[in-house]
């Protein structure tokens, strides 16, 4: 599968967030989207998930325009945003049962319990989610994103709230989903974790993908240096052009 955005443009009034952005994602790729705060990373995730409509440009799967109103398309996508979208009054299992029905899956209660085991919640008592810690809520959010066995995973800061053990669990899940040929696009500031599993790093700056860096056993310092070079050089060039 090939998932692409072409000449993607998004503006809020006169504020341009993304402009003429191109990105191509292939089955089995785990791409980390990097960029300064306010660069438009979350906006891009929302556009690719269909939660936002682009001002211009197109989003395609295998060269066919994506119609996000189609249930079949929505079922292909697993999504994590800053909000958990969990129902606080329900238990973890009840949350998964509710979303399983909404997604139209045929998962049984035993399947959902196994999914909770997979994210490290197998031994949690059946209490309302409002009593969960932030890390537990994030684990359940990860389980929710995997419910429909998506072919595309769009993850915005999924390490949020996770401790070292939780981050290692997430990395293992990412490896497993990548090996199933899932397309994964992830934003994160946790470079020490994502560097272990990413296929490449795309740097979003000034509304475009400024550079794509293959993860050829990059050290953390090398990755940080490449990132700083791209961002700082572009800021310098733009400042000189404006002078």
Q: Which of 103, 128, 149 is a domain's end point?
A: 149
Residues 58 and 161 in one domain: yes
Residues 35 and 106 in one domain: no
Residues 90 and 122 in one domain: yes
Task: Write the pLDDT tens digit of every residue in 210-224.
Answer: 999 999 878 889 999
Distance, in Å, from the CA atom of 186 to the CA atom of 31, rounded to the nearest integer, reads 6
Q: What is the pTM of this model?
A: 0.92
Provide φ and ψ at 9, rounded to 5°. -135, 130
Residues 193 and 154 in one domain: yes
Q: At CA 111, angle to CA 110 and CA 117, rounded to 5? A: 90
**Quick check: 212 and 201 in contact, CB under 8 A?**
yes
Residues 190 and 105 in one domain: no
Residues 13 and 131 in one domain: no
Residues 125 and 155 in one domain: no
Task: Write the pLDDT tens digit of every residue in 178-232.
Answer: 999 999 999 998 898 999 999 999 999 989 999 999 998 788 899 999 999 988 8
**Quick check: 195 and 223 in contact, CB under 8 A?**
yes
Residues 37 and 139 in one domain: no
Residues 144 and 194 in one domain: no
Q: Which of 101, 118, 149 is a domain's end point?
A: 149
Give the tokens for residue 39. Answer: 């660069």
- The pLDDT mean for the chain works out to 93
Residues 127 and 198 in one domain: no
Residues 140 and 155 in one domain: no
Range of the domain at 141: 85-149
Residues 27 and 112 in one domain: no
CB atoms within 10 A of CB 15: 7
Q: Which of 134, 149, 164 is a domain's end point?
A: 149
Beta-bridge partner residues of 42:
none
Number of domains in the chain: 2
């Amino acid at each position: 599968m090939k998932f692409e955005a072409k000449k993607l443009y998004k503006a809020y009034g006169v504020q341009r967030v993304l402009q003429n952005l191109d990105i191509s994602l292939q089955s089995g790729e785990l791409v980390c989207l990097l960029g300064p705060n306010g660069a438009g990373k979350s906006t891009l995730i929302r556009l690719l998930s269909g939660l936002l409509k682009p001002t211009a440009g197109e989003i395609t799967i295998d060269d066919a325009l994506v119609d996000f109103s189609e249930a079949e398309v929505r079922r292909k996508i697993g999504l994590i945003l800053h909000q958990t979208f969990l129902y606080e009054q329900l238990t973890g299992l009840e949350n998964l049962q509710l979303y399983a029905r909404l997604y139209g899956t045929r998962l049984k209660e035993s399947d959902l319990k196994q999914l909770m085991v997979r994210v490290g919640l197998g031994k949690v008592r059946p209490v309302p989610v409002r009593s969960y810690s932030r890390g537990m809520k994030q684990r359940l959010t990860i389980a929710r994103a995997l419910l429909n066995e998506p072919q595309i995973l769009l993850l915005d800061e999924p390490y949020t709230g996770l401790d070292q053990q939780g981050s290692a669990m997430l990395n293992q899940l990412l490896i497993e989903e990548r090996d199933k040929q899932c397309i994964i696009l992830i934003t994160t500031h946790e470079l020490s974790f994502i560097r272990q599993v990413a296929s490449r790093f795309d740097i979003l700056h000034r509304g475009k993908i400024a550079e794509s860096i293959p993860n050829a056993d990059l050290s953390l310092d090398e990755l940080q240096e490449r990132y700083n070079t791209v961002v700082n050089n572009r800021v310098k060039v733009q400042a000189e052009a404006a002078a």
